[in-house]
Every structure is written in structure tokens, then in C-alpha cells.
A and B are shown apart, each in its own frame.
Chain A
């Protein structure tokens, strides 16, 4: 390894940590992705943004938008590529395979899954394959949400089911080649599937999934079904019965066997899950959308998994609606976006049982996803939540945007921003990072042009 060091690799423009990366050995989260995945630990070159198509905006179709975020690149701060998938599918979440060669991106309405090749030309992802029979293959799961890398496989959470389109749903597994493997239904009151119901709820709902391999644990959260998430938000919130049909559970699974172990009460729609990286930090955070709390999901001293509300997020009575969260490099900070007030809040979670808010900043008229770099120095935000829930009016550049900030340890400092409406792209949702160095490539010296 003589001669291989940060200095001479600097010419490549990014570093990546070894592909044998240990879950638990990492010192940062790089957007909270699967611990099974290779990580970019230096300057990322691109952010890939899975973007919701809006009728009358550009071609109106969902698309994968590539933004150049490397300050050393001539294309820095601009959209360098976008690839439309044709039609609107309720583009939502996306995830990279464990080898980071492919980006999977799913649609909550059409149930289609789009697999993009991001390794052949990291600056210009191309649509490699589309899975169109997710519902049939999975045995009736609807709403493929989290695209989560496992060794050689991708694990999906569903949000709903084809039978009644409410919240009962399942985990669905595919090979990296895009072949269906298995469906694992969530435990509910009618069929606990071997799990222990520890409290009041056993709803069978799903939303996010994260793995803690060192404890052989999968953690899933719960949102709501197709009937709710495809509905206009104002109408939905005025419908008391519909508002009862949100998830109230987190489920602890056996990672190896994919069998549910324990259902925990976490009332109020627990959404994103972020697990700590410390070698002995056996806990994860989630936030509840409807009750605006941070919950700690933790393994106690007896080896039992528990859930505990540990902090309030803003004023719950004003329905700030916590959405994406991101745990920082050393498990010391947790960024929490609240969609309704367009604000991000930073909590000191060095004592996970007692988070303390240390900072807040309004990002835009609405804010949903955030992704932070491996070193925690760069934070990116996007605005869109769901097509029928997004705000329809706002200040120019503040409604549907991608914004880049730097974090200096005390505060966010604004970088560049891209108005996705002015650029006729749509409503930006989940972000994933790309880098030439992942694939042994260097940035071409030729000028970069946008290709639609």
C-alpha cells in the first residue's frame, strides 16, 4: 500500500472507505444508508435526486436529477443531468445496492421500481431496468418505500396492500439483479407471526427499515396506507376516521431469519429510523409525525428491546410534522426536519435518553429530506413530501428546491440552491451521493453538459 495515501488520491477527488466496511466501525453515516454499503468518506461528486413529476412543469414526469456538488468541478452547483422515467409514479425513496453500482428508486402510486446504472458514468445515470410487477410478485404488497441494501439483495418496506389499500403491509426482498426473493408480512393483531406484542398496538403497518447487524436486528416503523398517503392532506386531516389509520408501532426483527420478534408501541406514525454507529451503541432513533416526538429504540441491559419517548420536537400543537432525520458522525447530533414549518433542528443526542435542541434554522417554505456527508461538513436539503401533500404556493425558490449548506459545528452556512420549479424539474425528494472514485474513475476533462 506504499504510495496510497490521501494526498495522491486527492487527484481522484473523493475517497471511499473499504468495501469490507464494518457496520459499527464507521464514524459517520453518509446520509444514513445501509451499513452494508461502501461509503464515500471524502468529497462527493454528485447528489442524485429522485424527483416527483408535476403536471405542467417540464415534461411532468418523475425523474432522477443529478447535481454536481464538487466545488472543484466546472459544473459545481448545477444540474448536470436528468433522466425521466415517463409518467408520475409518486417518486419517493431510493437506495443504492451494497456495491453502489445501481440506484433503486420506487414509486408509491404505480408500485414500479426503477433501477439506474450509476457506475458506468456517474455523471449521467441511465435507466437500467424497471420492475413493474412488484404487487403481483410480492403477493399483494403496495407502496414500495425504503430501498435498503443487504448483501447482494435489496430489502423494501411496503406502505400498504392491494386488498384494502390501508396500512397492513410487508417487507419484500429482491436480488440485486432485480429478481423477487420473498415477502415477509408485518406482524399484526390477527397474526403476530411469532412476535411478542409488548403493548397496546399491533397494526401491521410499515414505513422505514434499518439493520443493526452486530445485534442481528432489523427495525421497522409504521406510517399509513395508500388510501391516506395518496389523499389531499387537508382533506385527510379533516377526516377523523382516516386519521386513526396511522401506524403506532416499531417492530424488532431477527435480521438473519427475517422473523419478527417484538412489537413496540410508538404512537403517532414513527417514520425514519436512524441507528447509532458506535460499536456498543445498541439503539436507534425515530420521530413521530403526528405527535412530534423523538423516540429512542434501545436494547436494555437484559437484552430486551424497548421504546421510549425522549424529547419533544417544536410545538406539537402546531403540527410541525417531523419528517427526515440524520444522525451525525459520532452519534452526537441528530438533525430533524419538520416539514410544515420548513425548519431543521439539531439535537445533541450524546445522551440518547435526553436529547437537547442546540440549533434551528428555517430552510424553506417546506422541507423534507436531508443528507449529510460522511464528515458531517456538508448538509443537503430537499423540499417535497408527497405530491398531494406538498404546499402549492410559496416564495420563489422556497417551495421546491435543493439546497446545499455547510455545517461548521455550530451553525449551517448556506451554499448554493437550485429552484426545481424554475428549472422545470419537479418536486425533489430523496438524495443519494455518487463519486467517480467509487468506480476507479476520474472526472472527465471535457465540459459537462446537461442532457434531458
Chain B
């Protein structure tokens, strides 16, 4: 739980959720399910369907070495778990949760022959003004296991990223007078090997055990590896 303590320290004094601005400022802190053991059995891989939601859009991004590249190139032929964050996010159940859960995926993926070398993690900042390549790179180094396939990304500009956010239905809003706070719905995306979104997770729903089950489900599903005619 050292990570959690680090998050808690980072969030000290700012409250748990954005609602802490309001009358709920005194509400006790309740951590998202993703920080704890799943309190129900994880879904059994292969016993359920994950219908295609939409095609994962392409877009121009900067990787953590400053190289200009595209999302589709980064996705390649891997199954992808992708989060949208900004590093100054101080809502422990927001962006830090996404990064925490993705960090928790690394061990199980590396240990699973079905998943090892088949899954790629992507974390894209939607705050390119503050999250420069240097910032996002330093952020990523705190959470990425050595040699694990997890790339931290940012954009050249907000305008550059805008169509990507639209395509992924990731709305963001700079809070007026909020000292750089960006209000947004937390979303993490499961993307199959044909660049199709197969699940969307939010705060109530995001847990490493569930994501692992979903990864096993889509990688064992041969139809996931067959492009649809329209693709």
C-alpha cells in the first residue's frame, strides 16, 4: 500500500473528490474499489461476451521520449489498456486510480502466458500544456516496472489532442478558478488487437482483476483477432 500512502500524501488537504469543494467537504474519504480486493468474484474469462463498442480512433501524440507518433502505431497488434489522465489530478479516485490499476496489471500480465507480450498499456495526458514530455516521462517512471510495455504519452497541443478526446468520448473541462483542475469523467478503455474498444471502465468499475479477466476473454476470443469487413 506504499503507493496508496504516496497518493494520500499527494492529495493531503485537497479532499477526496471534486465534491470536496462543496458542502461535502467533511465527508469521510472512501477509496474506489480498485484500490482494494475485489469484493465479488472476478468474471470467469471466456464465459461472457464483450461486444465491440466502437473503433479506437487514431491520433497524433508525443511519446515519453518526445517522438511524434500515432496511437494506432503504438497499439500495433496488441491488446491495449489505455487511460486518459493529467498528472496534476488531485482526486485520488480519479487519474491516480487509473494509474494505480494499470500499475497493478503489470505483474499478472507478465506472469500469464496468454497475456505476456500480448498486452500494451498506454497512458495519455489530456493536459499537454503542463504535462510536457519531461513531466509525463518522469511520471511514468514512478509506476512502470522495468521493461514493461507501458508508454506514457502527451500531445503537442490541446488543439492536437481535441479530436482524440472527442473520438474516445472523453470530455474534459478546465475548472474556472480551479488552479489547473480539469474536471472529467474517469474512463479507461480496453482495446482489442483490431483496435476496437471492448470495454470502458470508470471509478466504480475499474479493478485490475476485472481488467485481467477481460483481457483474457478478448485474447482467447478468436473473433477478436479477425478484422470485421468494414475494418
B187 to chain A, nearest CB (A): 6
Q: How far is the CB of B174 from chain A (nearest CB, A)?
A: 7
Q: Chain B residues near A18 (CB, 8 Å)?
A: 17-20, 91, 93-94, 183
User: Do the beta carbons of B210 and A256 come within 8 Å of each other?
Assistant: yes
B-side binding surface: helix, strand, loop or mixed?
loop
Cβ contacts under 8 Å, B201 to chain A: 151
A75 within 8 A of B: no
Would A25 and B178 count as touching, CB distance under 8 A? no
Selecting from B27-35, B116-124, B139-147, the interface stretch reads: B27-35
Least CB separation from B48: chain A residue: A257
Once the chains are docked, how many angstroms separate the CA of A151 from the CA of B188?
9
Q: Which of A1-47 contact B (CB under 8 A)?
A: 1-6, 8-9, 12, 15-25, 27, 35-36, 38-39, 41-42
- Tell whether, in the assembled complex, residue B17 and residue A152 are in contact, meaning their CB atoms are under 8 Å apart: no
Count contacts on A: residues with CB < 8 A to the other chain. 53
Residues of B within 8 A of A214 (CB): 33, 39, 204
Name the segment of B49-57, B69-77, B128-136, B223-231 touching the other chain.
B49-57
Stretch in A51-59, A121-129, A172-180 touching the partner: A172-180
Contacts of B94 on A, CB cut-off 8 Å? 18-20
Chain A's closest residue to B210 (CB) is A256
Q: Say if the beta carbon of B181 comes within 8 Å of chain A.
A: yes
| Interface residue B175 (Cβ < 8 Å from any Cβ of A) | yes
The answer to whether A27 touches B24 (Cβ under 8 A) is yes
Is there an interface contact between A153 and B53, defined as CB atoms closer than 8 Å?
yes
The answer for the CA separation of A254 and B18 in the assembled complex, in Å, is: 30
Q: A98-B202, A258-B48 are in contact. Are A1 and B32 (CB under 8 A)?
A: no
Instruction: Pick the residue among B24, B171, B181, B200 that contacts A1 (CB under 8 A).
Output: B181
Q: Kindly provide the distance from the CB of B107 to the nearest chain A CB, expressed in whole angstroms.
A: 22
> B176–A98 contact, CB under 8 A?
no
B93 & A22 in contact (Cβ 8 Å cutoff): yes
B 198-210 binary contact with A (CB < 8 Å = 1; else 0): 0011111100001
Chain A residues with Cβ below 8 Å from B27 are 25, 27
- Min CB–CB distance B200 → chain A (angstroms): 4
Task: Flag if B175 contacts A279 (CB, 8 Å).
Answer: no
Q: Which residue of B lies closest to A182 (CB)?
A: B51
Cβ-based interface call for A77 (8 A) = no
Assess the A36–B204 pair: CB atoms within 8 A.
yes
Q: B203–A15 contact, CB under 8 A?
A: no
CB distance from B122 to the nearest CB of A (A): 17
B68 at the interface (CB under 8 A from A): no
Per DSSP, chain A at the interface is loop
Instruction: Select one of B15, B181, B200, B203 contacting A152, CB under 8 A.
Output: B200
Contacts of B169 in A (CB 8 A): 99, 152, 175-177
Judging by beta carbons under 8 Å apart, are B93 and A213 in contact? no
Contact B202 A17, beta carbon cutoff 8 Å: no
Q: Which of B14, B21, B32, B174 touches A20 (beta carbons < 8 Å)?
A: B32
**Residues on B with beta carbons closer than 8 Å to the beta carbon of A23:** 204
Cβ of A440 within 8 Å of any chain B Cβ, yes or no, is yes
Q: Mark B1-29, 1 if CB is under 8 A from A, else 0.
A: 00000000000011111111111110100
Q: Report yes or no: B53 in contact with A152, Cβ–Cβ below 8 A.
A: yes
Interchain CA distance A258-B203 in the complex, whole Å? 19
Are the C-beta atoms of A6 and B25 separated by less than 8 Å? yes
Q: Is B97 an interface residue (CB 8 A)?
A: yes
Let me know if A19 and B32 touch, CB within 8 A: no
CA distance A216 to B19 in the complex (A): 25
From B20, B47, B53, B175, A440 is in contact (CB under 8 Å) with B175
- A362 at interface by CB-CB < 8 Å: no
Q: Which residue of A lies closest to B47 (CB)?
A: A257
Q: Indicate whether B186 reaches chain A with its CB closer than 8 angstroms.
A: yes
**Does A259 sit within 8 A of B, measured CB to CB?**
yes
Q: Which 8 pairs between the two chains have the least Cβ-Cβ distance?
A: A18-B18, A17-B19, A18-B17, A257-B48, A152-B200, A15-B22, A213-B204, A20-B94
Could you list 26 examples of A-B contacts with CB < 8 Å? A1-B20, A1-B178, A6-B25, A15-B21, A17-B24, A20-B94, A20-B203, A21-B17, A21-B19, A22-B32, A24-B30, A27-B24, A36-B205, A39-B19, A99-B171, A101-B171, A151-B201, A177-B169, A181-B52, A182-B49, A213-B204, A215-B39, A254-B43, A258-B49, A279-B30, A440-B175
B interface with A by C-beta (< 8 Å)? 13-25, 27, 30, 32-33, 39-40, 43, 47-49, 51-54, 90-91, 93-94, 97, 169, 171, 173-179, 181, 183-187, 200-205, 210
